[in-house]
């Protein structure tokens, strides 16, 4: 019994070293994930416009950003609004939202980006989730 125990240590050690090397090589080759690949070209172009026009100055994604306009994380799936409404807002602007003179193609790209964001999760807080102190947890979100 003692004999087996003593001789198994180098094997375990070698096994751990090999595992560590395989792990390191795998992480090195594939570790950064394929987030970019999953995102479609149109959504990436939309993200560029989102950044260039600084939409984030007035709008939030996941609650982060400016507070002049609404959070747009789930804007594409919001009831009573949706794509056509967003196209209209982007084409004409409103009293408070500037008109950016985007082409129809650019508008489609921005909407593709916002759809991608919408698919990534949920950030709209329903009134039932907010407690009497005004706190809420996004993890318990029941909005669809």
* Member of 5, 38, 96, 142 binding ligand HEC (CB under 6 A): 96
DSSP state of 16: H
Q: Is 19 or 126 the residue whose CB approaches ligand HEC more closely? A: 126
Q: Is 38 or 79 the residue whose CB approaches ligand HEC more closely? A: 79
- Angstrom CA distances, 20 to 25, 30, 61, stand at 9, 15, 38
Give the CA dihedral 15, 17, 20, 25, nearest 10 degrees.
-110
Q: Is 99 or 135 the residue whose CB approaches ligand HEC more closely? A: 99
The reply on whether position 58 binds ligand HEC by CB under 6 A is yes
3-state secondary structure of 26: helix
- Angstrom CA distances, 28 to 14, 17, 37, 120, stand at 21, 16, 17, 26
Residues of span 69-88 touching ligand HEC by CB under 6 A: 69-70, 72, 75, 81, 86
Nearest to 103 by CA among 118, 114, 87: 87
* Member of 11, 12, 37, 95 binding ligand HEC (CB under 6 A): 95
Q: Is 5 or 52 the residue whose CB approaches ligand HEC more closely? A: 52
The reply on whether position 57 binds ligand HEC by CB under 6 A is yes
* Member of 44, 45, 89, 125 binding ligand HEC (CB under 6 A): 89
Identify the H or E element spanning 24. helix 2-30
Q: Which residues bind ligand HEC (CB under 6 A)?
A: 53, 55, 57-59, 68-70, 72, 75, 81, 86, 89-90, 94-98, 100, 110
């Amino acid at each position: 019994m003692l004999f087996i125990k003593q001789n198994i240590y180098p094997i375990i050690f070698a096994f751990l070293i090999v595992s560590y090397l395989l792990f390191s090589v795998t992480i090195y080759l594939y570790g950064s994930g394929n987030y970019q690949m999953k995102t479609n070209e149109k959504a990436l172009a939309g993200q560029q416009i989102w950044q260039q026009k600084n939409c984030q100055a007035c709008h939030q994604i996941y609650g982060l950003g400016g507070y002049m306009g609404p959070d747009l994380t789930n804007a594409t799936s919001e009831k009573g609004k949706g794509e056509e409404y967003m196209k209209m807002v982007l084409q004409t602007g409103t009293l408070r939202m500037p008109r950016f003179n985007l082409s129809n193609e650019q508008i489609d790209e921005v909407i593709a980006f916002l759809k991608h964001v919408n698919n990534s999760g949920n950030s709209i807080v329903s009134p039932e989730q907010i407690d009497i102190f005004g706190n809420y947890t996004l993890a318990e979100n029941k909005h669809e």
